[in-house]
Chains A and B, each alone.
Chain A
Amino acid sequence: MTGWTTANILSTLFGAALFPFMIAVAWGKMVEVFGAAGGWVAGFWIVGVSWLLNHGLGLHHQAGDVWIDMAMAAFVGLFVQSTLAGGKPGKAVPALISGVLGGLLGGLILSIMA
């Protein structure tokens, strides 16, 4: 762990915990109360504030050149939360496969754009 200060580790831990926590707690509730429009607002506000803290203002310490986005924290945190709440990891396999393929396809497009 070269180049990491204690502050880097703590701020990355905190930022990574914050994002999936906000999504799990607030996003579903917003949809429950306001329907799809609630999800629209949640997508703006939760992700906007998270981005501002994690990347805009730098809670997430980037140790290498390859960008580790706060999105990976959202995926891990929500997978953990939904599994604790009774979701079966085995039944998530098709979605996981489509996620990996989507990441490869998205990465391919991004790699040829510039």
Chain B
Amino acid sequence: MWKRIIVGAFGGAFAGVGVFVIWPSVLYHLNWWGGFFAAGTIIPIAWFINHFCGAIPNDPEGSWVDMAFPIGLSAIFGGIVQVTKDGPVRAAHGIFTGGNPLPSMQTLAVQFVGACIGGLLAYWLLSAGKKEA
């Protein structure tokens, strides 16, 4: 199992670094449409490796751990790097680069509530018809 955990950590780090370098950089060069297309650049291949090929060791009977988890943590720990025409520039600080995470916990808390609502709504839709809800 520890081998699978290491592979999962590698796959998650690939997704996290890819997202927070490619995304802000494409955004810098192509604005909003760049941000939109950045999704198609990194997310599909990261999904294919992490979930379709199963790099992240999700148990079929377990709750789902999405690659979004290491992606989100990557930004919290390492911040965001934007490659501009002048080279790599730090766009946001993470804990490792001296950012203060405490004010951001407000966003995380509000987002947590919203995410639970979204998960509940999805469950209602997906379980409809399977049993009387």
Chain A interface (Cβ < 8 Å from any Cβ of B): 1, 4, 9, 12-21, 23-25, 31, 36, 39-45, 47-52, 55-57, 60-85, 87-111, 113-114
Contact = CB atoms under 8 A, between A and B. Distances in A.
Contacts, number: 383
For the complex of A and B, the 4 pairs showing the least CB-CB separation, nearest first, are: A102-B12, A103-B73, A107-B77, A16-B114
Contacts of B10: 102, 105
Contact of A39 (B23, B52, B68): B52
B62 A90 contact: yes
B73 to A, nearest CB: 2
B4 to A, nearest CB: 7
Does more than half of chain B's interface fall in helix, strand or loop, or is it mixed?
helix
Given A95-B57, A107-B96, A109-B78, A17 B117 contact: yes
Given A71-B72, A81-B119, A98-B8, A12 B111 contact: yes
A1 to B, nearest CB: 6
Contact of A106 (B7, B17, B40, B108): B17
Contact of A47 (B39, B80, B90): B39
B111 A111 contact: no
Given A9-B110, A66-B79, A110 B94 contact: yes
B2 to A, nearest CB: 9
Nearest to A98: B8
**In this complex, which of A12, A51, A64 has the most chain B Cβ atoms within 10 angstroms of its Cβ?**
A64
Contacts of B73: 72, 99-100, 102-104, 106-107
B103 A65 contact: yes
Given A65-B99, A102-B11, A113-B21, A72 B92 contact: no
A57 B4 CA distance: 38
A53 to B, nearest CB: 11
B126 A25 contact: yes
A110 B64 contact: no
Most buried by B among A31, A45, A56, A80: A80
